[in-house]
Chains A and B, each alone.
Chain A
Amino acid sequence: MEMPRTISVLVKNRPRVLARVAGLFARRGFNIDSLAVSTTESEGISRMTVATTADAPTLSQIAKQVSKLHDVVDVIDHTDLKVVERELCLIKVIVDRGQRGELISLCDVFRGDIVDIGNGSVMVQLVGDTDKIDAFVELLADYEIVEMVRSGKIVLDRGAQKE
């Protein structure tokens, strides 16, 4: 069934490795919904969290193709695993003084933080899973959103085990 799915790709931190992985996705017509890249607990190893919308066979094909890249150490398909999933979002919205209180209570409900207040605008920081952020952004439709950025999701499997 086609649905949002996430894989983590552990790669050697080498020149062009991002281009190799992203290029493979593009070449084989796999969609990337979001991509987050960072260092990890192991020196020289980076972790790419790739969110995509695909059915199970397609995801398995992606994972197998990506695994073949020489600089790829491991690929984890999180589909059937219990995970903690997080994304960070920064949103700048136009609010006049009268609307501020309303926005602050909205933030409270979603456990968002006001991280900057400017002349007529407010920047909100929100951390959560993708659904929560989507819901929050939807609620902000009543305001004028000036700019928004999302980090792309990152995921770790639950439990003491390393994947």
Chain B
Amino acid sequence: MAHEMIPGAQALLRVFEEENVDVLFGYPGGSVIPIYDALYDSTIKSVLPRHEQGAAHAADGYARATGKVGVVMATSGPGACNLVTGLATAYLDSVPIVAITGQVKTNLVGTDSFQEADVTGITIPVTKHNYLVKEPYQIERFADLVREAFYLARTGRPGPVLIDLPFDVSAGCVPWTERNIEALDGYEEAAVPDEADIDRAADMIEAAERPVMMIGGGVVTAGAHSEIIEFANKCNIAVVHTLMAKGCFPESHELSMGMPGMHGMAYASYAIQHSDLLIVIGARFDDRITGDLSRFAPDAKVIHIDIDPAEIDKVRTANIGIAADARTATRALIQAVSARDRGAWEDTLLKFKRDHELAYTDDDELMAPQLVVQKLHEVTGGNAIVTTEVGQNQMWAAQYYPLEEPRKWCTSGGLGTMGYGHPAAIGAQFGRPDELVVDIAGDGSIQMNMQELTTGTIHELPYKIIILNNSFLGMVRQWQDMFFDKRYSGVDLTGNPDFVKLAEAHGAVGLRCGDRDRIVETLEQAMEVDDRPVMVDFAVSKEENVFPMIPAGQSFENLMECPMAEKSSSA
């Protein structure tokens, strides 16, 4: 059958429409002009960030906040190279993104022509898959290739997929073929858990005296939060969450044992250490969780459920490994497991919680950063979508802004990308225009993608940036403080710009607060603005450290809680 021939750029946008893409974050250049030309007549909203890195993180924030695939576009060479950090960020956190990059004309590929970079080569390690569309077999099935990119990005363990499109492919004609997802290359039925494995797991859970469930980002991806709550409630099992799963299990729930790991709640780490069974769902035993692996949860058997078979036994050998979707598997477990009484263990957990509460002191001349986050939680009713930068700000956000729902948390967990939070807030705000979006930032990180304030202003996005300004690259300073004899090297941010003026120069609102008694008032003022971004500069205690802390490569035996607070509570 002869197919309708249409320009590659139009075929691309038609597939975008099929995929319900409503917004695209992209930056033009010579090789993507044909696509921009097609966008001129399209209903898809094209957002122009001020840097391609911003575009990539915005697509990522959009994807995390909505559960849909984020779309980003850049031109060949420098534009595409600027996406790399954003792709790596999304790759390590399994976020579905489709990235379109322009490429030089097919006959020039491989000749070092102007603005040519080997983008498929560069991005192999940071994408789930990528395509350089230039072979006839690819052009003939171009529409399917784009559908396949979306399919791969969002299914299984999600991740970024990149399509590198030479100018002459987007400008030239391709056949328009009908959509048939099941015929796509790589199409797979979702893996269902093996019944026998579920039964064995159920027996193991019933036999356990001190079980703990640890949930990770896979639970967000699978939309399994309701199932996790039901499972925990039914079997009375305490739940710890990794940084990636924050909000998946309501943090106010009595069974919530918080976040374990390097800067997690001490009681979460103690729960894991004393458990005899870890039920790990959609988490991957990152070293920030485990520390010294040989001393991690030494008495625990492990049931590991993950959609990616390669995660099972990768770090910690599982007694039962179940390669399946978190939601399907949890549902099966709910059916299979019966509740039982574990009074002693519950008491132990309660005691851990009581004895090892998060603590900090607010006795510096400048306000404690934790206090700002707590007040933010109060003022926003805990309902904001929170994005974070990286460093101490990120950890304080995780500790002091408890969340009750999934997809309200966008943080660069795996890569730890400073500069992520601001563009991610923009993406989240586009995806969920009616919700309050807040970027909890450090004064260092915020300067990495500051330029995107313009994007926020132009689109009248009312997100808030809360800078916990300690005039330091705080997290690095903390390590130098604790492990390098306070030899502060390369971390002093004295000479920071005037953030209020900077906000104003971008057409946003800038506010400043240096007085702990004015935190709430300042935040309320920020919340009143509804037609542009607000950046609030909080002058916080300069040398505050994040506690608890388990130093890298160590274990819960080396866990340090806030020294000052301990003293005052024991007094």
Identity of the chain B residue whose Cβ is nearest the Cβ of A62 in the assembled complex: B310
What per-residue 1/0 map shows which CB atoms of A60-89 lie under 8 Å from chain B?
110011011110000000000000000000
Of the candidate stretches B117-125, B507-515, B543-551, the one touching chain A is B117-125
Stretch of A14-22, A29-37, A149-157 that contacts chain B: A14-22
Chain-A contact segment, one of B127-135, B199-207, B413-421, B453-461: B127-135
Partner among B128, B129, B135, B317 whose Cβ is within 8 Å of the Cβ of A15: B135
Q: Does the CB pair B132–A61 fall under 8 Å?
A: no
Q: Shortest Cβ distance from A12 into chain B, in angstroms?
A: 8
Contacts A70-B128, A70-B129, A70-B152; A19 near B310 (Cβ below 8 A): no
> Which B298-319 residues have a C-beta within 8 angstroms of A?
308-310, 313-314, 317
B80-135 contacts to A (CB < 8 Å): 120-121, 124-125, 128-129, 132, 135
Query: Could you say which of B120, B185, B310 has the most chain A C-beta atoms within 10 Å of its C-beta?
Result: B310
Asked if A57 is an interface residue, CB under 8 A from chain B, the answer is: yes
Given the known inter-chain contacts A15-B135, A60-B313, A61-B313, please indicate yes or no for A68 contacting B121, CB distance below 8 A: no
Which residue on A lies nearest to B311, using beta carbons?
Answer: A64
Determine how close the nearest CB of chain B comes to the CB of A63; give it in whole angstroms.
9
- The answer for the CA separation of A70 and B313 in the assembled complex, in Å, is 22
Contact status A64-B121, CB under 8 Å:
no
Q: Are A27 and B310 in contact (CB under 8 A)?
A: no
Once the chains bind, are B124 and A23 in contact (CB under 8 Å)? yes
* Chain B proximity of A108: nearest CB distance (Å): 48
- In the complex the two chains form, what is the Cα distance from A57 to B314 in whole Å? 8
The A-B contact count (CB < 8 A) is 31
How distant is the Cα of A70 from the Cα of B160 in the complex, in angstroms? 13
Is B309 within 8 A of A64, CB to CB?
yes
B313 & A20 in contact (Cβ 8 Å cutoff): no
Other-chain contact of B121, A16, A57, A65 (Cβ < 8 Å): A16
B186 within 8 A of A: yes
Minimum CB–CB distance for B256 against chain A, Å: 32
- In the complex formed, the residue of A with least CB distance to B161 is A70
**Nearest chain B CB to A135 CB, angstrom units:** 36
Q: Which of A16, A23, A68, A70 contacts B310 (CB 8 A)?
A: A68
Q: How many residues of B contact A (CB 8 A)?
A: 17
> What CA separation (Å) do A68 and B186 show in the bound complex?
10
Q: Is the CB of B132 within 8 A of A20?
A: no
What is the predominant secondary structure among interface residues of chain A facing chain B? helix
| Cβ–Cβ contact A68 & B308, under 8 A | yes
Tell me the smallest distance from the CB of A70 to a CB of chain B, in Å. 4
Q: Report chain B residues within 8 Å CB of A27.
A: 125
Is B186 a contact of A23 with CB atoms below 8 Å?
no
When distances are taken between beta carbons in the complex, the residues of chain B under 8 Å from A15 are 132, 135
Which B130-181 residues have C-beta < 8 A from chain A? 132, 135, 152
Cross-chain contact B121 with A19 (CB below 8 angstroms): yes
Q: Quick check: B128 and A19 within 8 Å, CB to CB? A: no
Complexed CA–CA distance, A29 and B317 (Å): 19
A51 to chain B, nearest CB (A): 21
Contact residues in A for B185 (Cβ distance below 8 Å): 70
Among B185, B308, B314, B317, max chain A CB count under 10 A is at: B314
Least CB distance from B290 to A in Å reads 17
**Using Cβ atoms and an 8 Å threshold, which residues of chain B touch A60?**
313
Provide the bound-state CA to CA distance between A27 and B124, in Å.
11
Interfacial chain A residues near B317, Cβ < 8 Å: 57
Interfacial chain B residues near A68, Cβ < 8 Å:
308, 310
With the chains together, A107 CA to B519 CA distance in Å? 88
Query: Who on chain B is nearest to A44 by CB?
Result: B137
Residue of A nearest to B129 (CB): A70
Judge whether A65 and B310 touch: CB under 8 Å: yes
Q: Is the CB of A70 within 8 A of B186?
A: yes
A162 to nearest B CB, angstroms? 21
Distance between Cα atoms of A19 and B135 in the complex (Å)? 18
- Answer whether A64 and B310 are a contact pair too, CB < 8 Å, given A15-B132, A15-B135: yes
B312 → chain A closest CB, angstroms: 8
Residue pair B120, A61 in contact (C-beta under 8 Å): no
A60 to chain B: closest residue by CB:
B313
Q: In the complex, what residue of chain B is closest to A64 when comparing beta carbons?
A: B310
Chain A residues positioned under 8 Å from B120 (CB to CB): 16
Please report the C-alpha to C-alpha distance between residue A23 and residue B130 in the assembled complex, in whole angstroms: 14
**In chain B, what residue has the closest Cβ to A66?**
B310
Within 8 A of A (CB), among B183-215: 185-186
> Would you list 10 pairs from A and B whose C-beta atoms are within 8 A, ordered by A residue?
A15-B135, A16-B132, A19-B121, A19-B124, A23-B124, A23-B125, A61-B313, A61-B314, A68-B308, A70-B129
Q: Name 4 extra pairs, CB < 8 A, besides A57-B317, A61-B314, A70-B185.
A: A15-B132, A16-B132, A19-B121, A64-B310
